[in-house]
Structure 1
Amino acid sequence: MEPRGVMGGIYRLTEWIMRLSVINLLWILCGAPFFIFFFMSFISLLNGNVPEDQMLSFIQTACLTLGVLAPFTFFPSTAAMFAVARKWVTGEGDVPMFKTFFKGYKENFKQSMLGGLIYTILIVILVVDYYFFVNSGSGQIISGIFIGLLVLAVVSLLNFFSMLVHYHMKTFQLIKNSILITIGKPLRSITSAILVGFILFMSFTQFTWLLMFFTGSLIAAVSYWNFNLIYTKLQQQLEDMKKNEEEEVEIAAEMDREDLVKSDYKESK
């Protein structure tokens, strides 16, 4: 029997800490090649091991290498993590984590790899173009535009994973709909960007231990929660439209019956 009161709250808190950390560790293990190269590159930049005149070349090479690794390691692992996050957000907190994770990994592997490849190409192009204009010294406004486009691409990618684990659609339909949702729901997109940005900021600057245990799983849970709000609202709008249509049909049928009654009445006269 689950304890209540203060002890019950502590029990639930520790349980969620365990869930988030386990899924985050599985995410890192299944995407190990990507994460190892990413952190090696990040540490090299952080420690100043890259000469300033080679900075742009180093970043371009790192982005291209990560772009090659991501579709085969990072994206399938992320899709599996989102599959677990979907269960959590929809009220299935006690779902078996290992089984759900690897089931999501297997079921979404091909689509996550293909969709991830497309997003990787887009993001790499945006990152390289951004650094090109920053270092050119004559494109501050243009580089700012590329930052905005990069944020939109990342939010769209998060929506892509949320839709991937929620809908049965073809890959290009998922990408198209994730872009449409990102652009069509600007407030939700801004909310996602702020929440994810805050998690990343705290993870990379204040509490680096979050990267190992919580960063990925927190981002997945927050992103799917935000997507679920959009989905719930759209479902409600569809139900309201359907209800209105049914009411209109009933009114039209009632009017037809009234006309028929009036017509019969006139004939009887």
Structure 2
Amino acid sequence: MEFRGVMGGLYRITEWIMRLTVINLLWIVCSIPVFFFGFMGLVSQTTDAFLSILPIVAILSPFTLFPATAAMFTVARKWVTGEEDVPLLKTFFRGYKENYVQSMVGGIIFIIVIAIIVVNYFFYTKQGGSLKMLSVLFIAFSVVIAIAMFNFFSIMVHLHMKVLQIVKNSILITIGSPINSIVTILCNGVIVYICLTKMNFFLVVFFMGSVVATFSFWQFNRSFTKLQMKQQELEEKAQMNQEQNEDDNDKDITESEPSLSESHESDTHTSSNDENNKV
């Protein structure tokens, strides 16, 4: 039975609330160790206690949080590309299984890069003079890596590539589409801020991850579609130029054939005159 009007709109809203909630809960359940230690760090009373928990979270993330996030992006991809009525549990756990190894390896790479950025940032903040200004550069690097992680999951569930290719392309897309990258990080930052500061983590439990994943893949899909259209236009233009060059070459050959014929006739006429002279 299909509802229309106000009832139809309310039905659609409640249906999307259910979808986002189910996927977000699955994401948290599959990442329980990370969320447990992360919550302990947030409620800790001292900064030292929070910093001591961060290495544990970093070690656990590639094995739990990254695969669960890849599974969540798998479902988000289905929604964005028009498959809204996919089975949630089946699609989520299929994405979890299929992308586990790539997401784990990619997670290890990103965690190592983030660790290097953090170490260098604190190192240069303790320096004096112009060296201290380099800490700003590492803040910029951290923003690029944060955006690249969203693109990493989007590319992983959308295209078939090796892990290193996914990581490289995620960074290239981040740098090559600065406007989309800025929109992605700002909007996701607002979503995370609202979820962390409002309603006592209610939004974190039921909506934060799924909303971020859906918006991030939607933004990536827009950028990727534009790049495909530009590439297709360039290929069509190159093909047209090639066909035009081939036509010009054929035309030049056609024009040169009469001159060859005329030259042959001239040679024949000259030879006949020579024979007549001999006679």
State whether TM-score is above 0.5. Answer: yes
Q: How much has 1:264 moved relative to structure 2?
A: 3.6
Of 63, 72, 86 in structure 2, the residue corresponding to residue 72 of structure 1 is: 63
SS of the equivalent of 1:150 reads helix
1:209 aligns with 2:205: no
Matches within 5 A, 1:244-259: 244-259=237-252
Superimposed CA distance per residue, residues 119-158 of structure 1 (whole angstroms, 9 cap, x where no aligned partner): 1122234345545666x49687444433322221111111
Q: Which residue of 2 aligns with 1:19?
A: 19
State whether residues 42 and 50 of structure 2, in contact with CA within 8 Å, keep that contact through their aligned partners in structure 1.
no
SS of the equivalent of 2:158 reads coil
Matches within 5 A, 1:80-99: 80-99=71-90
State whether residues 163 and 174 of structure 1, in contact with CA within 8 Å, keep that contact through their aligned partners in structure 2.
yes
1:148 aligns with 2:140: yes
Matches within 5 A, 1:191-230: 191-207=183-199, 208-230=201-223
SS of the equivalent of 1:193 reads helix
What is the alpha-carbon root mean square deviation over aligned residues? 2.0
Superimposed CA distance per residue, residues 71-109 of structure 1 (whole angstroms, 9 cap, x where no aligned partner): 110000000000111111111111111111111000000
Q: Which residue of 2 aligns with 1:190?
A: 182
1:169 aligns with 2:161: yes
1:118 aligns with 2:109: yes
Q: Which residue of 1 aligns with 2:96?
A: 105
Superimposed CA distance per residue, residues 149-181 of structure 1 (whole angstroms, 9 cap, x where no aligned partner): 222111111111111111111111111111111
1:241 aligns with 2:234: yes
1:178 aligns with 2:142: no
Give the counterpart letter for 2:253 in structure 1. Answer: L
Give the counterpart letter for 2:237 in structure 1. Answer: N
TM-score (ref. length: structure 1): 0.89
- In structure 1, stretches of 5+ residues that fail to align are none
Give the counterpart letter for 2:205 in structure 1. Answer: M
SS of the equivalent of 2:84 reads coil
State whether residues 67 and 121 of structure 1, in contact with CA within 8 Å, keep that contact through their aligned partners in structure 2.
no
Q: Which residue of 2 aligns with 1:34?
A: 34
Q: Which residue of 2 aligns with 1:58?
A: 49
Q: In structure 2, what is the Cα distance between the partners aligned to 1:20 and 1:137?
A: 46
State whether residues 20 and 214 of structure 1, in contact with CA within 8 Å, keep that contact through their aligned partners in structure 2.
yes
Give the counterpart letter for 1:164 in structure 2. Answer: M
Percent of residue pairs identical: 47
Structure with higher RCO (Cα < 8 A, 6+ apart): 1
TM-score (ref. length: structure 2): 0.86
State whether residues 24 and 208 of structure 2, in contact with CA within 8 Å, keep that contact through their aligned partners in structure 1.
yes
Q: How many residues align?
A: 259
- In structure 2, stretches of 5+ residues that fail to align are 263-279
